[in-house]
Amino acid sequence: MIDSMRVLSFSHFVQGPAASQYLADLGADVVKVEPPGGSWERRIGSSGIRVAGRSVTFLSVNRNKRSIAVDLKHPDARTVLRPLIEQADVLLENYRGGALEKLGLGYEAVRAIKPDIIYASASGWGSRGPMAGRPGVDLLVQARTGLVDVTGDRPTAAGTPVVDQHGAALLAMGVLAAYARKLTTGEGTRVESSLLGAGLDLQAESLALYYSGRRTETDVRRPAELACWSIDAPYGVYALRDTSIVIALNGSEDDLGDALGAPELAGYDQRARRTKREEYTAAVARVLAGMTYAEVASRLEPRGFWIERVATYDDVRADPQVAAEGLLAEFPVGEERATVLRHPVRYDGELPGLRTAPPELGADTVAVLRAAGFSADEVDGFLSAGVVS
């Protein structure tokens, strides 16, 4: 879909690599520029989990890309990178603020080489203000944006780095918007996203309700079962005899007690469910604790209540709906196989395919430099000098 887009990606961890992977999935030619030792997610990755010696974190966010290894601190690094910048539409990076400037690859320096460049930066806290330049990772941002505070009946982090992934999607969205502008006007754009912005954006409705509704911390505190402070009970997660269940809001809940055969719930109208939220939630929890999923489903589903069993990751892998949507994919890694999530959006009914597996470090260095116009002797010289590998 964007086969003509050329991207130089100076990125590591998850936010930057995932953003460039979204673009690569859509057809962009993404060249991942890595240090000689490889990017963090290649070298280490989360939990040290590896398949055939390869970091699974790296495998999850670097498909459909090419890799070149460049020592950015070498005095000839800019000589190597200049023609690549001249041919690129996008330079995408998520180094700590100021890092690329020190290496002569900041926005102004790159724009001097390529005036219509789309220079896309992802940071932890943004480029201005007292936190600019400080380390910013998912969990720190979850804490500072209030996400930890409003999750659970006590401060609780989300179960996965949700801010990283949302930040990646927002950065990719910004690049696509800038590319549309470039195609229509010929102008480049400075695109900036941050984990701070992503962490707040995940809570757009919640923050608006809290501030505009003049709410306080008392309103946020709630029973453990309730999933969200701003949505009426019984919206939440409840333990059954054999599993756990979620009940989502689907209009009036006035007949929940009748549907469950629990007259003790019938006396709570919408006003009572709000003013006596803790009492009502405890009553619902007591009723459900004595029932199985099959019993609850047989009573609530025919009445139009929205419920779902709480799945484990093992359940997700076997889920026929996930299979029907084709959202998980396997590919060979050495003598083993890795399982990753596919691009989550369909275009004309199809999901973008896996064109190439995540690349080995520097696998494309020679080919990329030759395509950029360097002679075979020049490339050999760069390799011998240790500029590239």
Mean pLDDT lowest among 230-239, 249-258, 286-295: 249-258
Question: What is the mean pLDDT of the segment spanning 214-237?
Answer: 96
**Is 89 assigned a catalytic role?**
no
Q: Answer whether residue 133 shows pLDDT above 90.
A: no
224 CB-near residues (< 8 Å, 6+ apart)? 152, 153
- Higher-pLDDT residue of 96 and 289 is 289
pLDDT at res. 246: 98
- Classify 6-202+355-385 by CATH class: alpha beta
26 CB-near residues (< 8 Å, 6+ apart)? 1, 2, 343, 352
Q: Using the 8-state DSSP alphabet, how is residue 224 labeled?
A: T
pLDDT at res. 251: 65
> Which tens digit of pLDDT belongs to each residue from 357-381?
999 999 999 999 999 999 999 999 9
Average of per-residue pLDDT values in the chain? 97
- Three-class SS state of 235: coil
Question: What whole-number percentage of the chain has pLDDT above 90?
Answer: 97
- Give the tokens for residue 322: 């996930």
Cβ(16)–Cβ(195) below 8 Å = no
pLDDT at res. 250: 72
**pTM of this structure:** 0.96
d(CA 59, CA 47): 14
Q: Answer whether residue 267 shows pLDDT above 80.
A: yes
Question: What whole-number percentage of the chain has pLDDT above 70?
Answer: 100
Q: Using the 8-state DSSP alphabet, how is residue 54 labeled?
A: E
Q: Which residues pair with 70 in a beta bridge?
A: 388
Phi-psi region of 355 (alpha: psi -120 to 50; beta: other; left: phi over 0): alpha
pLDDT at res. 97: 86
- Give the tokens for residue 108: 């102004």
Q: Count of CB atoms within 10 A of residue 353's CB?
A: 11
Phi then psi for residue 34, to 5 deg, are -120, 155
d(CA 206, CA 201): 10
Q: Count of CB atoms within 10 A of residue 147's CB?
A: 23
d(CA 93, CA 91): 7
Q: Count of CB atoms within 10 A of residue 373's CB?
A: 11
Q: Answer whether residue 388 shows pLDDT above 90.
A: yes
Identify the H or E element spanning 259.
helix 256-260
- Give the tokens for residue 31: 């060249």
Angle subtended at Cα 249 by Cα 246 and Cα 253, rounded to the nearest 5 degrees: 105
| Annotated domain spans of the chain | 6-202+355-385, 244-309
Confidence bin at 170 (pLDDT 50/70/90): very high
d(CA 100, CA 10): 9
Provide the residue count of the chain: 389
Phi then psi for residue 138, to 5 deg, are -50, -55
| Catalytic-role residue among 25, 29, 89, 164 | 164
Pairing between β-strand 336-341 and β-strand 328-333 as defined by DSSP bridges:
antiparallel
> Which tens digit of pLDDT belongs to each residue from 62-86?
999 999 999 999 999 999 999 999 9
> Which tens digit of pLDDT belongs to each residue from 7-53?
999 999 999 999 999 999 999 999 999 999 999 999 999 999 999 99
Phi then psi for residue 341, to 5 deg, are -80, 135
Question: What is the mean pLDDT of the segment spanning 116-142?
Answer: 96
pLDDT at res. 371: 98
Mean pLDDT lowest among 7-21, 230-244, 248-262: 248-262
Confidence bin at 323 (pLDDT 50/70/90): very high
Round to the nearest angstrom and report the end-to-end CA distance of the chain. 31
